[in-house]
Amino acid sequence: MNRLETLKSLYKPYRYTIKGKCTILETTSGNFVVKDKPKNKDLISIFNYLKSRNFYYFPEVYKGSRDDTYIYEYVEDNNTINPSKSEDLITVVSLLHSKTSYSKEVTEETFKEIYENIKNNILYLKSYYLKYYDLFLKNIYNSPSEYEFLRNYSKLNAALNFSERELDNWYSLVKEKKNERISLIHNNLSLDHYLRSDKDYLISWDNAKFDTPILDLYKLYQNNFWDLEFKAIYNKYKMVNNLSQEEEKLFFVLISLPLEIDFTGEDEFTICKKMRKKLDYVYKTEEFLKPYYSTDTEN
C-alpha cells in the first residue's frame, strides 16, 4: 500500500487534492496538509524552538505524523486581495530574525570563504557574458534575443563591476571580525509562502536553518522582485531588525548580481521572454540601490 492509500485509510477523506508537493485531505473531522519530511531536518524541533522564543507564526504539526511525512493543520488563506501582504510578510520575518538572533564566534576563514564563493561567481558571470558578447558581435544578422543581449551587455557588465567593487569593500569590513549575527531563517521566502487566516502564517519551512538573516531578504527579493515595492519593505524590516553596515553591504552585493541568461535549448520567443525578466531584474535593482550610493552604479 503506497503512502497516499495509507493516509486515505487512516483519515478517510471525502476529497483529496494534490497541490505541488502537498496533499490536502478533506475529512469529516477537519482538513489536513500532508508533506514528505525533508531529509536530514527535524522540523518538530525547529517549531518547538520557535515556540520557546515566542514565535508562533507557522502551522501546527499533528502528533499523528508518520515516519515519512508531516501532517499539518490546513490554513485557509484569506490574504489574496490584501494590498499590504508584502509588508505583513516582512513584519513576521523581522520578528523571526529578532527573536532568534544571537552572536556566533567565527574564524577568519568564515568570511574568506563567503568572499571567495561570491567572487568566483562574479568572475564566472563576467566570462560567461563576455563569451556570448564576442560570439553575437561576429554575426552579420542577430536574432531578437541576441540583439537584445548586445544592447544590454554594458548594463550587465556594470552590475557585475558594481557587485565586485562592493564585495571587496564588504570584505575589508569583516575580514578581522570575530563574531557574526546568526538567526533562524526560513530560507525559502516568497509571497506564496505567507498566509493570513486567524493569524499570520509562514509555510514551507523545509529549508530552514541558522544563518545570516540577509539570506531571507535576498531570497524574497529574488523570488518576488517584480511584485514588490522593496524600498518600503526593506525600511519596514529595519524598523524591527536593523542591519549592520556589513550586513547591508553584503545584501546589496547579493541582489546586484545579474541572473544567468540561458541562450540554448528553447524557442526564440521563450528565450526573449526569460531574458527580458532577467534584464528587468538588473534595472529594478539599480533603481533600488541608487539612493544608498552617491556615485552612479554604472561607474
Tell me the domain boundaries of the chain: 3-74, 102-292
Look up the CATH architecture of domain 3-74. 2-Layer Sandwich (3.30)
Fold of 102-292: Aminoglycoside 3'-phosphotransferase; Chain: A, domain 2 (3.90.1200)
Task: Quick: pLDDT tens for 254-291.
Answer: 999 999 999 887 899 999 999 999 999 999 999 999 99
Per-residue pLDDT band for 57 (boundaries 50, 70, 90) equals very high
* Residue 284 Ramachandran class (φ > 0 left, ψ -120 to 50 alpha, else beta): alpha
Per-residue pLDDT band for 297 (boundaries 50, 70, 90) equals very low
Task: Quick: pLDDT tens for 181-206.
Answer: 999 999 999 999 999 888 899 999 99
Predicted pLDDT at 299: 43
Per-residue pLDDT band for 214 (boundaries 50, 70, 90) equals very high
- 92 and 57 in contact (C-beta within 8 Å)? yes
> How many whole angstroms separate alpha carbon 261 and alpha carbon 258?
9
Instruction: Read off the pTM.
Output: 0.88
> How many whole angstroms separate alpha carbon 60 and alpha carbon 71?
9
196 phi/psi in degrees, rounded to 5: -130, 120
Task: Quick: pLDDT tens for 223-245.
Answer: 998 888 899 999 999 999 999 99
Task: Quick: pLDDT tens for 84-139.
Answer: 888 999 999 999 999 999 999 999 899 999 999 999 999 999 999 999 999 999 99
Pick from 56, 34, 32, 36: nearest CA to 46: 56
In angstroms, what CA-CA distances link 117 with 66, 110, 127, 166, 186?
A: 39, 11, 16, 14, 22
Which position has the grid cell 538573516?
213
